[in-house]
Chains A and B, each alone.
Chain A
Amino acid sequence: MTPTTSSVLGKDLLGLEHLSAEQINVILDTAGPLKEISERAIKKVPTLRGATVVNLFFEASTRTRISFEFAEKRMSADTVNVAASGSSISKGETLVDTARNLEAMRIDMVVIRHHASGAAKFLAERIESNVINAGDGTHEHPTQGLLDLLTLRDKLGDLRGKRICICGDVLHSRVARSNIWGLTKLGAEVAVCGPRSLLPNAIGEMGVQVFDRIEQAIEWADALNVLRLQLERMQAGYIPSLREYNRVFGVTRERLERAPRDILILHPGPMNRGVEIDSDVADGPHSVILDQVTNGVAVRMAVLYLLAGNKPTLATAARGDA
């Protein structure tokens, strides 16, 4: 009698590249109503009561981990945080052994962030628990992609034909990749803008346009998703200096003022104010950066809800129930 989500997500959420538009929409449609929970006085629903979730973070992260933790706790799950340093991981325990240990403790879900591309899939192939990729190397960061999509959809409506430009170090960005897949699946027109030394050489084959100058991107786009430029890139020689990067590619108020339409500004955070984005833009009227944060918790709750209890054996046993 109650309508059910027709597109099952499967056991894990590893990326957006292989999800259908339908599956992405199910996640976004679920996240919408869940936002209200964070507005309540008692920010909790009992849905994941008794479920154990481990946040396995091999890379330091504050915002993503906290966002997941809130999502988990608001769904009443029991959460355990494992950080890389000060644990057996830093003593050289392999990912295989970590996986087996988690399995032995009967963990229901694992949220993993790791520095190696493919690490989430590696883990998912070896344990029965649901695995959520919170960022694997430079490969994907699906929940970030989803919250960006939700934010854009809330503001722009149907994303078909909308123009979104991802600005910055696309080469090293898992956020960029997830965004490219998610946006193209939902029918948006996607472009990237940044120094060519920070764009994958094969970018033309990924279905996106390329702008060499930020002014061109601003002229074209309905929204800019501005990526963080990491200091290491300058140190590794991809660009000459952060100063030059801001002068040539920075999203500044002057440049935005010349935009032909009301451009939305997104940023996955944390921001390098004055490098890829100026403060008056980040804090200005076009910015939806704080909405992204709010949506992040809702999207993660939605993913937890949709994946949890998705144990095929249980579902088949219960078939025929009302």
Chain B
Amino acid sequence: MSVDRRDVLLKGGRLLDPSTRTDAVGDILLRDGKIESIGGNLNAPDGATIVDCTGKVVSPGFIDVHCHLREPGREDVETIATGARAAAAGGFTAVCAMPNTDPVTDNQAAIGFVLKQGRAAGAARVYPIGAISIGEKGEQLAEFGEMVGAGAVAVSDDGKPVVSAQLMRTALEYARAFGIPVADHCEEPTLAAGGDMNEGIVSARLGLKGIPSEAEEIMAIRDILLARRTGGHVHLCHMSTRGSVELIRWGKDRGINVTAEVCPHHISLTEDEVTGYDTNAKMNPPLRTLDDVEALREAVKDGTIDVIATDHAPHHNDEKEREFSEAPNGIIGLETALAVNITWLVAAGVISLETLIDKMACAPAKLFHLEGGTFRKGALGDVTVFDPTATWKVDAATFRTKGRNTPYQGRTLTGLVSCTVVDGRVVFQR
């Protein structure tokens, strides 16, 4: 292996990219880390890496707009490097890292640090998301301008809701100058306080305090209305209820600039997973009812939900192996996202593979104004190769993330990443 060549020829796969309406078996060539051409039987330039994609699907690289990489502060649980490698193994060529680190990523130096660590990892790209408020305290705006200048692609106080409507309004207005989305974790704190799972019959049986769906919906409609007032772009994180979906539809019907994401676990699992007090089924927002799951799947299908993001949230085993109410919220997701989505959305006949790629690659790039997510000539050479029919058994012990907290442990899923290319370099190959 000589000089760092960023030329890759991916041969014989099914090239699938909704953004360019590509759906054909053939070759795609990357040169100098950019998309060069698509065709049949392309010639590889000297020294190019050749990847045989026969029987596989080749798509623009997946982009996860919502994950937690824990660095700085909790390197025992994940680092930007291990997270970026886990992302690559999951087929992600880029991830957006949420700022609820310790200290909070709320200034240009912190943003720079995350970018630097991401580059050093040499796996998936890491785009930092800056905090909305200093320290995520919900009081004072962080310096959006400086953070964007240093490389932040969005702002969010995720982990926490923006409690003050006034602050949310100001954030939406202020962010307009920088053309970035303001992403909110929708949770009305007084309704949700002390809650460990969805409020319903399961929480009643288990004697656990529940979080009613209204806790999410009240904040969702608030944010939608503020987006209308301010003309800003609000991005609603990890939507989980039928009510939220209906409100988003209401907003979009009126041309309001609201976008929404859903996580793979919310379109596949219900609150029944918590029976037995399994802390690997504990996250925020919680798993809801089958009715909510069905509404979310329908919303992915009809476009009410724009993107699927992982909300990858690794935790140490010591923290998760506790009484349910003591355990922290969150599950890992980078290395299971594709398979969960294929198993419960594509194989289940809810959406086509093409729509899935749009939700996982094209739309994230578009909404967060990122390069990539397309096979257009000259676009970033970020490509994902996967087998949409391969089945495999989930064993978190083999994952690249440091976290092991997944509710899918031991399950057989469909859909396996075989190769991930970032910037014309193979960063993962099975």
Residue interface mask A196-232, B partner, CB < 8 A = 1: 0000111101100000000000000000000000000
Stretch at the interface among B85-93, B261-269, B321-329, B417-425: B321-329
Interface residues on B, range: 20 to 34
**Given the complex, which residues of A lie within 8 Å of B255, measured CB to CB?**
none
A276 adjacent to chain B (CB < 8 Å)? no
Stretch at the interface among A135-143, A240-248, A263-271: A135-143
B207 adjacent to chain A (CB < 8 Å)? yes
Q: Contact: A116 with B204, CB < 8 Å? A: no
A315 adjacent to chain B (CB < 8 Å)? no
Stretch at the interface among A117-125, A148-156, A279-287: A117-125
A17 adjacent to chain B (CB < 8 Å)? yes
Q: Contact: B204 with A117, CB < 8 Å? A: no
Q: Given A122-B277, A206-B201, are A177 and B207 also a contact pair (CB < 8 Å)?
A: yes
Chain A contacts with B in 101-134, Cβ cutoff 8 A: 114, 116-119, 121-122
**Given the complex, which residues of B lie within 8 Å of A205, measured CB to CB?**
201, 204
Q: Contact: A117 with B324, CB < 8 Å? A: yes
Q: Given A121-B277, A122-B277, A202-B200, are A139 and B322 also a contact pair (CB < 8 Å)?
A: no
Between A and B, 6 residue pairs with Cβ closer than 8 Å are A96-B321, A117-B324, A137-B208, A140-B207, A202-B199, A202-B203
A80 adjacent to chain B (CB < 8 Å)? no
Q: Contact: B207 with A114, CB < 8 Å? A: no
Q: Which of A95, A136, A202 lies in contact with B207, CB distance below 8 A?
A: A136
Q: Given A117-B277, A122-B277, are A94 and B322 also a contact pair (CB < 8 Å)?
A: yes
A174 adjacent to chain B (CB < 8 Å)? yes
B206 adjacent to chain A (CB < 8 Å)? yes
Q: Contact: B323 with A118, CB < 8 Å? A: yes
* Assembled-state Cα–Cα distance A206/B201 (Å): 8
Q: Contact: A201 with B322, CB < 8 Å? A: no
Shortest Cβ distance from A92 into chain B, in angstroms?
Answer: 12
Q: Given A96-B321, A137-B325, are A118 and B206 also a contact pair (CB < 8 Å)?
A: yes
B212 adjacent to chain A (CB < 8 Å)? yes
Q: Contact: B201 with A114, CB < 8 Å? A: no
Chain B contacts with A in 194-253, Cβ cutoff 8 A: 199-201, 203-210, 212
Shortest Cβ distance from A144 into chain B, in angstroms?
Answer: 14
Residues of A within 8 Å of B, CB-based: how many?
A: 24
Residue of A nearest to B208 (CB): A117
* Assembled-state Cα–Cα distance A94/B325 (Å): 13
Q: Given A137-B207, A201-B212, are A117 and B201 also a contact pair (CB < 8 Å)?
A: no
Residue of B nearest to A58 (CB): B323
Q: Contact: A117 with B207, CB < 8 Å? A: yes
**Given the complex, which residues of B lie within 8 Å of A138, measured CB to CB?**
207-209
Question: Which residues of A are interface residues toward B (Cβ below 8 A)?
Answer: 17, 94-96, 114, 116-119, 121-122, 136-140, 174, 177, 200-203, 205-206
Shortest Cβ distance from A81 into chain B, in angstroms?
Answer: 21
Chain B contacts with A in 286-322, Cβ cutoff 8 A: 318, 321-322
**Given the complex, which residues of A lie within 8 Å of B276, measured CB to CB?**
121
* Assembled-state Cα–Cα distance A150/B237 (Å): 51
Q: Which of A122, A201, A202, A206 lies in contact with B323, CB distance below 8 A?
A: A122
**Given the complex, which residues of B lie within 8 Å of A137, measured CB to CB?**
207-208, 325
* Assembled-state Cα–Cα distance A17/B326 (Å): 23
Shortest Cβ distance from A291 into chain B, in angstroms?
Answer: 27
* Assembled-state Cα–Cα distance A145/B119 (Å): 60
Shortest Cβ distance from A118 into chain B, in angstroms?
Answer: 3
Q: Given A96-B321, A118-B277, A119-B323, are A202 and B206 also a contact pair (CB < 8 Å)?
A: no
**Given the complex, which residues of B lie within 8 Å of A202, measured CB to CB?**
199-201, 203-204
Chain B contacts with A in 335-354, Cβ cutoff 8 A: none
* Assembled-state Cα–Cα distance A206/B322 (Å): 28
Shortest Cβ distance from B277 into chain A, in angstroms?
Answer: 3
Residue of B nearest to A170 (CB): B204
* Assembled-state Cα–Cα distance A140/B277 (Å): 14
**Given the complex, which residues of A lie within 8 Å of B321, measured CB to CB?**
96
By Cβ-Cβ distance, the 5 closest A-B pairs, closest first, are A139-B207, A118-B277, A116-B323, A138-B207, A200-B204
**Given the complex, which residues of B lie within 8 Å of A140, measured CB to CB?**
207
**Given the complex, which residues of A lie within 8 Å of B206, measured CB to CB?**
117-118, 139
Q: Given A201-B199, A201-B212, are A114 and B204 also a contact pair (CB < 8 Å)?
A: no
Residue of B nearest to A117 (CB): B207
Shortest Cβ distance from A183 into chain B, in angstroms?
Answer: 15
